[in-house]
């Protein structure tokens, strides 16, 4: 992977700027730094943020990659994709979590495009709500979306060519190379993800709801119509047996309690499929 892999995205204005690093702490942190400097230099967000198309930060390797809930995210040299798509937005606050839903869909659809175009046979690929991408009940991709208003930083880590994982996570993590028994071109895949995500975000900015992707997303949802276990640090879900019914227009996961048939929208927390004891 190198800078040239993204020239076409620059030429056709899918992205306005490219920041490529052989090694960096975290592409999300680097993006935040740049945004803050720009705002400081030009004395105000509106003056600083004139880019119409997103900026792409991408690194061959990250040495302090961050995951959700304060966890770290490892990406060894020349192996995986670590990228942050930075988009200036006018989306209202309540629509921001929807971007994370779009990112999972973009990654999943980009991987399917790659596998069809380059003949890499992969097992079925799913999304674990809201935004983990999984294959073979193991995590393939994690997404960390952060807001540095008016920019959304969509950090995407995909396990692409990793051939093994540390013992602690080997039952929970997998890569495209392991599942597809082929080496994947990271530059091509990262460009496909960027294209897919920028398109989805621009439609979302017109519709301001996720109606346009509900069916696509729900058809990829690992928990769809299965019994799920709901956990959250902040919310006490009433006791019961819950069935996942898929997302609504806002991106909340609708779950139905079996005996009362009542439905609740889940906006935060962890939703795991009952009976799948591994990662999902």
Per CB under 6 A, residues contacting ligand BTN are 26-28, 62, 65-68, 71, 73, 82-84, 142-144, 155-157
Q: What angle do CA 13, 107, 64 make, to 5 degrees?
A: 90
The residue among 248 and 270 lying less far from ligand BTN, judged by its C-beta, is 270
- Taking Cα atoms as reference points, which of 117, 69, 102, 61 lies closest to residue 193? 102
Beta carbon of residue 30, minimum distance to ligand BTN (angstroms, whole number): 8
Beta carbon of residue 196, minimum distance to ligand BTN (angstroms, whole number): 17
Q: What whole-number distance in Å separates Cα of residue 197 and Cα of residue 176?
A: 19
The residue among 23 and 225 lying less far from ligand BTN, judged by its C-beta, is 23
Beta carbon of residue 59, minimum distance to ligand BTN (angstroms, whole number): 8
- Taking Cα atoms as reference points, which of 164, 156, 213, 218 lies closest to residue 190? 156
Beta carbon of residue 159, minimum distance to ligand BTN (angstroms, whole number): 10
User: Residue 133's CB: how many other CB atoms inside 10 A?
Assistant: 25
The residue among 108 and 243 lying less far from ligand BTN, judged by its C-beta, is 108
The residue among 143 and 243 lying less far from ligand BTN, judged by its C-beta, is 143
User: Which residue minimizes CB distance to ligand BTN?
Assistant: 142
User: Residue 255's CB: how many other CB atoms inside 10 A?
Assistant: 24
Q: What whole-number distance in Å separates Cα of residue 265 and Cα of residue 251?
A: 9
The residue among 50 and 78 lying less far from ligand BTN, judged by its C-beta, is 78
Beta carbon of residue 71, minimum distance to ligand BTN (angstroms, whole number): 5
Give, rounded to a whole angstrom, the gap between the first and last alpha carbons of the chain: 31
Beta carbon of residue 157, minimum distance to ligand BTN (angstroms, whole number): 3
The residue among 60 and 109 lying less far from ligand BTN, judged by its C-beta, is 60
Structure tokens at 32: 């935040």
The residue among 62 and 244 lying less far from ligand BTN, judged by its C-beta, is 62
**Kind of pairing, strands 125-128 and 242-247?**
unpaired
Beta carbon of residue 58, minimum distance to ligand BTN (angstroms, whole number): 9
DSSP letter (8 states) at residue 237: P
**Kind of pairing, strands 55-62 and 17-24?**
parallel
- Return the residue matching tokens 């004395």: 43
The residue among 98 and 155 lying less far from ligand BTN, judged by its C-beta, is 155
Q: What whole-number distance in Å separates Cα of residue 270 and Cα of residue 233?
A: 9
For 109, the enclosing helix (H) or strand (E) is helix 97-117
Q: What are phi and psi of 104, to 5 degrees?
A: -65, -40
Beta carbon of residue 24, minimum distance to ligand BTN (angstroms, whole number): 9
């Amino acid at each position: 992977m190198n800078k040239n892999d993204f020239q076409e995205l620059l030429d056709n204005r899918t992205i306005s700027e490219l920041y490529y690093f052989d090694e960096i702490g975290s592409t999300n942190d680097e993006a935040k730094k740049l945004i803050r400097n720009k705002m400081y230099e030009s004395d105000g967000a509106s003056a600083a943020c004139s880019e119409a198309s997103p900026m792409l930060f991408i690194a061959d390797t990250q040495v302090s990659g961050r995951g959700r809930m304060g966890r770290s995210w490892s990406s060894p040299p020349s192996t995986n994709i670590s990228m942050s798509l930075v988009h200036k937005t006018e989306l209202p606050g309540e629509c921001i979590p929807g971007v994370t839903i779009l990112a999972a869909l973009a990654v999943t659809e980009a991987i399917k495009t790659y596998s069809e175009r380059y003949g890499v046979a992969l097992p079925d690929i799913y999304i674990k709500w809201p935004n983990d991408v999984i294959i073979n009940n193991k995590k393939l991709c994690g997404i960390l979306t952060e807001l540095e208003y008016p920019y959304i930083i969509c950090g995407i880590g995909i396990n692409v060519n990793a051939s093994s994982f540390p013992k602690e996570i080997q039952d929970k993590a997998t890569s495209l190379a392991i599942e597809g028994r082929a080496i994947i071109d990271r530059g091509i895949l990262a460009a496909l993800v960027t294209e897919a995500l920028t398109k989805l975000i621009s439609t979302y900015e017109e519709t301001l709801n996720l109606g346009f992707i509900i069916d696509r997303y729900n058809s990829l949802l690992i928990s769809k119509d299965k019994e799920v276990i709901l956990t959250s640090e902040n919310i006490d879900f009433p006791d019961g047996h819950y069935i996942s019914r898929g997302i609504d227009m806002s991106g909340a996961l609708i779950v139905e309690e079996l005996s009362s048939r009542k439905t609740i929208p889940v906006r935060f927390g962890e939703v795991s499929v009952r009976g799948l004891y591994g990662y999902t």
